[in-house]
Amino acid sequence: MFRAVSTSVRFPEVEDQILQFWRERSIYAKSLQQRAGAPRFVFYEGPPTANGLPHPGHCLTRAIKDLFPRYKTMRGFYCERKAGWDTHGLPVEVEVCKELGIHSKEEIEQYGVEPFVQKCQQSVWRYMREWERLTERIAFWIDLSQAYVTYHQSYVESVWWALKQLFDRGLLYRGHKIVWWWAQGGTALSSGEVGQGYRQVADPSVYVRFPLADDPDTSLVVWTTTPWTLPSNTFVAVHPEFEYAVCRDEETGHRLIIAAELVEPLAAKVKRQWKIEKKIRGSDLVGQRYLPPTDNYYRKYKDARGKLQDGTEIPLYWRVVPADFVTLDSGTGLVHIAPAFGEVDYELLVADRQRFAEDGPRPELLCAVGPDGKFTSDFPEQQGVWVKDADRAIIRQLKEAGLLVLVDQYLHDYPFCWRAEQDPLIQYPRESWFIRTTQYRDEMLKNNSLIGWLPENIRDGRFGKFLESNVDWALSRERYWGTPLPIWQCEATGKQEAIAGYDELLNKPGVQGTEVWEQARRENPELVEDLKVHKPYIDAITYDSPFAAGARMRRVPEVIDCWFDSGAMPFAQWGFPHRGRDRFEQNFPADFISEAIDQTRGWFYSQLAISTMLFGEEHPYPHPFKNCIVLGLMLAEWYESKDGKQRFLTEEEARQKLGKNYVLKTGKMSKSLRNYRSPQEIFDTYGADALRWYFFANQPPWSSIIYSERAIRDSIPEFLLRMWNVLSFFTIYAEIDQFAGPAEIDGSIEQLTPDELSLAPTYRPVAERSEMDRWILSELSSTCTEVVERMDRYDSFGACQRISALVDAVSNWYVRRCRDRFWGPAKAQESEDKADAYWTLYEVLLELTKLVAPFVPLVSEAMWQTLTGSVASRVRESVHLCDYPLGDPQRCDRLLAERMQVLREIASLGRSARMEAKLKVRQPLQRVEVSLADATHIEWLREHDKIVREELNVKEIEYNAGNSPYIEYQILPNFKLLGPRLGKRLPALKKALGEADGATLVQQLQENGRLTLQIDGQELELTAEEIEVRLKAKPGWTAAQGRHCVVVLSTELTDALIREGYARDLVRYIQDLRKQNNCQFTDRIVVFLQTDAAEVLEAIRENQDYIAGETLATELRINSEPPSDTPATKIEIAGHEVLLAIAVVSPAS
Q: CATH for 719-892?
A: 1.10.730.10
C-alpha 693: how far from chain center:
14
In Å, the largest CA–CA distance within the chain is: 125
Rounded CA-CA distance 797/801 in Å is 6
For 53-85, give the DSSP string: ---HHHHHHHHHHHHHHHHHHHTT-B---EEEE
827 has pLDDT over 80: no
Stated length of the chain: 1149
197 has pLDDT over 90: no
Cis peptide leading into residue 525 (ω within 30°): no
Q: Catalytic residue, from 66, 86, 893, 1065: name it.
A: 86
Split at pLDDT 50, 70, 90, the class of 805 is very high
1149 has pLDDT over 50: no
Q: Catalytic residue, from 118, 599, 607, 1041: name it.
A: 599
Convert the pLDDT of each residue in 437-456 to its tens digit. Answer: 999 999 999 999 999 999 99
Q: Write down the pLDDT at residue 1146.
A: 60
Q: Write down the pLDDT at residue 1008.
A: 77
- Who has greater pLDDT, 50 or 255? 255
Q: Catalytic residue, from 269, 465, 668, 1032: name it.
A: 668
Q: Catalytic residue, from 47, 363, 854, 973: name it.
A: 47
Name the 3-class secondary structure at 690: helix
Split at pLDDT 50, 70, 90, the class of 970 is confident
Return the bridge partners of 1032, or none: 968
CB 906 within 8 A of CB 942: no
CATH among 3.30.460, 3.30.720, 3.30.70, 3.40.50 for 967-1033: 3.30.720
DSSP E strand boundaries for 225-346: 235-238, 243-249, 255-259, 274-281, 305-307, 313-315, 319-322, 334-337
Return the bridge partners of 594, or none: 629
Q: Are strands 593-596 and 627-631 parallel, antiparallel or unpaired?
A: parallel
Q: Catalytic residue, from 453, 603, 702, 839: name it.
A: 603
Radius of gyration of the chain (CA): 39
Convert the pLDDT of each residue in 599-628 to its tens digit. Answer: 998 899 999 999 999 998 789 999 999 999
Q: Which of 939, 944, 876 is nearest to 906 (CA)?
A: 944
Name the 3-class secondary structure at 427: strand
List CB contacts of 121: < 8 A, sequence separation 6 or more.
Answer: 87, 151, 481, 528, 530, 531, 534
Rounded CA-CA distance 548/528 in Å is 36
Rounded CA-CA distance 973/775 in Å is 40
The beta-carbon contacts of 459-463 under 8 Å, at least 24 apart in sequence, are 462/597, 462/600, 463/600, 463/604, 463/605
685 has pLDDT over 70: yes
CB 978 within 8 A of CB 986: yes
% of the chain exceeding 90 in pLDDT: 71
Rounded CA-CA distance 77/86 in Å is 28
940 catalytically annotated: no
Convert the pLDDT of each residue in 395-426 to its tens digit. Answer: 999 999 999 999 988 888 888 987 777 889 98
Q: How many CA atoms lie within 13 A of 937 on its CB side?
A: 20
999 has pLDDT over 80: no
Rounded CA-CA distance 508/923 in Å is 93
Angle subtended at Cα 337 by Cα 331 and Cα 339, rounded to the nearest 5 degrees: 140
563 catalytically annotated: yes
Q: Please list, residue by residue across 774-804, b when 16 or more beta carbons sit within 10 angstroms of its beta carbon and e when fewer do.
A: bbbbbbbbbbbbbbbebbeebbbbbbbebbb
C-alpha 912: how far from chain center:
34
Lowest pLDDT segment from 1-15, 454-468, 1028-1042: 1028-1042
- Segment 136-156 shows an average pLDDT of 95
Rounded CA-CA distance 948/904 in Å is 9
Cis peptide leading into residue 1127 (ω within 30°): no
Convert the pLDDT of each residue in 208-231 to its tens digit. Answer: 999 999 999 999 999 999 999 999
724 catalytically annotated: no
Name the 3-class secondary structure at 1045: strand
Angle subtended at Cα 535 by Cα 530 and Cα 537, rounded to the nearest 5 degrees: 75
Q: Are strands 143-149 and 82-85 parallel, antiparallel or unpaired?
A: parallel
539 catalytically annotated: no
178 has pLDDT over 90: no
Neighbour count for residue 469 (Cβ, 10 Å):
9
Q: Which of 1042, 1020, 1017 is nearest to 1031 (CA)?
A: 1042
Split at pLDDT 50, 70, 90, the class of 1117 is very high
Rounded CA-CA distance 54/130 in Å is 7
List CB contacts of 252: < 8 A, sequence separation 6 or more.
Answer: none
Return the bridge partners of 177, or none: 430
626 catalytically annotated: no
Q: Catalytic residue, from 563, 775, 839, 864: name it.
A: 563
Split at pLDDT 50, 70, 90, the class of 544 is very high
List CB contacts of 1149: < 8 A, sequence separation 6 or more.
Answer: none
> What is the reported pTM?
0.84
Split at pLDDT 50, 70, 90, the class of 878 is very high
Mean of the per-residue pLDDT values for the chain? Answer: 91
1148 has pLDDT over 70: no
Architecture of domain 198-416: Alpha-Beta Complex (3.90)
C-alpha 952: how far from chain center:
41
Q: Are strands 476-477 and 1018-1023 parallel, antiparallel or unpaired?
A: unpaired
CATH among 3.40.50.880, 3.40.50.970, 3.40.50.620, 3.40.50.1820 for 12-160+574-631: 3.40.50.620
358 has pLDDT over 90: no
Q: Write down the pLDDT at residue 828.
A: 66
User: What HEC string does 598-659 produce?
Assistant: HHHCCHHHHHHHHHHHHHCCCCCCCCCECEEEEECCEEEEEEEECCCCCEECCHHHHHHHHC
Residue 291: what are its φ and ψ, rounded to 5°?
-95, 125
746 catalytically annotated: no
Rounded CA-CA distance 387/226 in Å is 9
Q: Write down the pLDDT at residue 1147.
A: 46
453 catalytically annotated: no
Rounded CA-CA distance 642/150 in Å is 47
CB 305 within 8 A of CB 360: no
% of the chain exceeding 70 in pLDDT: 99
Rounded CA-CA distance 1119/1134 in Å is 18
List CB contacts of 33: < 8 A, sequence separation 6 or more.
Answer: none
Q: Which of 711, 915, 730, 700 is nearest to 810 (CA)?
A: 730
Q: Catalytic residue, from 671, 946, 1075, 1130: name it.
A: 671
357 has pLDDT over 80: yes
Q: Write down the pLDDT at residue 3.
A: 92
CB 559 within 8 A of CB 479: yes
